């Protein structure tokens, strides 16, 4: 049985990167650069990372924020660290048949230019080209402490330790380590070791700056370390920089206009391509005249979770919300299987869904379609999501960025028998 964990609270124009690497910078101060001890060039170093295989798309987006924060910490003092974007693929939920879903670059889903304006990043293939081949100097497999929290006392710490779980890397005949490496079979690592870590992402900074001196370091099981400061200014800068790729936003916008009569001008959801200038006042955005719904099913119902409604319960809530907010349109994003989907269509015939053709799916993949669903939900007048779904959480954030009244965003379905149905927390953007 796969563990589908959700430890949310618990992580390209290269901005400044090309300059710092030599030419421009040295050129500017050539007169004293060569001999002056104070003009020591910063070495370029690469931070790679990967996440526990069963984790889904939206928790991985959260881990990116933790790693971006670590890179910012590393860059503050010492070398010219660059974050290498782990290619997407082999995700548990991405099961559309006959579609090749591995080695997908970040640029297919996100605006690299926007990511770059937050922290220097490169795609994995660019890393291979720049660093001279598919080699990673050192892999650190992060893990918890075998002994747990000693004396029930929480403290931040990091230590090299024997591997707790079976190592997912093995030595080849030449002595290199082979592993998954995002489906890049030719990639090899020179060294692998396990590291017990307990605390926020930046506790790794001293280790990476002092104990390890090689150029490229990969943190595997990067979700082990927590956010440096969840929902703080730095968290939000990174989150705001995760602008969806323009082609996906355009598809979502065209769908909104055609099927839901929703436009940015009419709904006050204007978007600035430059996220650093996007600062919408809360309550400003009105959204299209539809109810946005994220109804998470599959593994969320298999365990008979008490906080997830039956289909019937969900439809009752949807109808109640449509009446209350005087909305006659409803957009539904869901991962329901075919059987549930048929039931849902019967109970809620007016529901609008984004249904990709096979060609759409081949082109944009399950990840792109998920983003389009999120984008459309993010523009609804009122949104309701599913309890502790990171897919729903990312929609909350997107609506916060667009400037919706929090009352229209932080809502979730309750289980049919759920007594105390606590609603999601409002995380306000810190600019
Ligand atoms: N297109 C689409 N995919 C969904 C939807 N809900 C779930 N999924 C898929 O299922 C995955 C859910 O995993 P994850 O992103 O980890 O979110 P979580 O498990 O809900 O916290 C998503 O990444 C999608 O691939 C939905 O409403 N629309
Ligand atoms: Mg998940």
Tens digit of each residue's pLDDT (9 = 90 or more) over 86-110: 999 988 888 887 888 999 999 999 9
Please name the residue whose Cα sits nearest to atom 11 of ligand 1: 93
Report CA(305)–ligand 1 centroid distance (Å). 17
Contacts 24+ apart (CB under 8 A), 246-255: 246/111, 246/273, 248/109, 248/364, 248/368, 248/371, 248/372, 248/375, 249/375, 251/364, 251/372, 252/354, 252/371, 252/372, 252/375, 252/376, 252/379, 253/375, 255/354, 255/372, 255/376
Ligand sitting nearest the alpha carbon of 385:
1
pLDDT given at position 151 = 72
Which residues are near ligand 1 (CB < 6 Å)? 6, 56-59, 93-94, 294, 296, 333-335, 366, 369-370, 373, 389-391
Instruction: Spell out, as residue ranges, where the chain has pLDDT lower than 50.
Output: 1-37
Please name the residue whose Cα sits nearest to atom 7 of ligand 1: 335
Are the C-beta atoms of 57 and 227 separated by less than 8 Å? no
**Alpha-carbon separation of residue 288 from 258, 371, 404 (angstroms):** 12, 18, 12
55 is catalytic: yes
pTM of the model: 0.91
pLDDT given at position 40 = 64
Ligand sitting nearest the alpha carbon of 296:
1
pLDDT given at position 248 = 98
pLDDT given at position 21 = 30
pLDDT given at position 420 = 94
pLDDT given at position 38 = 53
pLDDT given at position 115 = 98
């Amino acid at each position: 049985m796969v563990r589908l964990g959700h430890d949310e609270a618990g992580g390209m124009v290269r901005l400044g990167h090309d300059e710092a690497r030599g030419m421009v910078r040295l050129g500017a101060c050539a007169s004293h650069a060569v001999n002056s001890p104070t003009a020591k060039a910063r070495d370029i170093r690469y931070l790679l990372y990967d996440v526990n295989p069963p984790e889904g798309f939206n928790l991985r987006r959260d881990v990116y924020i933790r790693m971006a924060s670590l890179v910012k910490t590393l860059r503050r003092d010492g070398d010219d660290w660059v974050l290498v974007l782990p290619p997407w693929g082999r995700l548990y939920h991405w099961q559309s048949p006959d579609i090749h879903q591995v080695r997908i670059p970040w640029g297919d889903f996100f605006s690299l230019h926007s990511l770059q304006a937050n922290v220097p990043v490169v795609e994995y293939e660019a890393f291979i080209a720049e660093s001279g081949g598919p080699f990673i100097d050192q892999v650190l497999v992060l893990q918890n402490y075998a002994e747990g929290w000693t004396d029930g006392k929480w403290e931040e710490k990091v230590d090299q330790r024997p591997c707790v779980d079976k190592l997912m890397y093995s030595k080849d005949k030449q002595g290199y380590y082979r592993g998954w490496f995002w489906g890049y079979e030719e990639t090899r690592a020179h060294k692998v070791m396990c590291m017990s870590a307990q605390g926020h992402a930046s506790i790794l900074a001293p280790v990476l700056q002092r104990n390890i001196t090689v150029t490229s370091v990969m943190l595997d099981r990067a979700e082990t370390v927590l956010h440096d400061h969840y929902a703080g200014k730095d968290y939000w800068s990174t989150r705001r920089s995760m602008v969806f790729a323009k082609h996906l936003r355009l598809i979502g916008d065209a769908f909104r206009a055609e099927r839901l009569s929703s436009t940015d001008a009419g709904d006050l959801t204007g978007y600035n391509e430059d996220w650093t200038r996007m600062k919408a006042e809360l309550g400003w955005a009105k959204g299209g005249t539809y109810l946005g719904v994220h109804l998470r099913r599959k593994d969320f119902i298999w365990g008979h979770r008490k906080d997830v409604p039956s289909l019937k319960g969900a439809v009752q809530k949807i109808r109640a919300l449509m009446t209350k907010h005087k909305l006659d349109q409803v957009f539904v994003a869901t991962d329901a299987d075919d059987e549930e989907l048929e039931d849902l269509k019967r109970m809620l015939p007016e529901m609008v869904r984004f249904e990709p053709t096979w060609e759409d799916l081949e082109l944009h993949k399950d990840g792109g379609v998920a983003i389009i669903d999120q984008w459309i939900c993010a523009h609804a007048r009122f949104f309701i999501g599913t309890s502790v779904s990171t897919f729903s959480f990312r929609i909350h954030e997107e609506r916060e960025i667009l400037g919706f009244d929090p009352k229209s965003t932080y809502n979730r379905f309750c289980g049919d028998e759920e007594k105390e149905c606590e609603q999601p927390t409002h995380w306000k953007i810190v600019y």
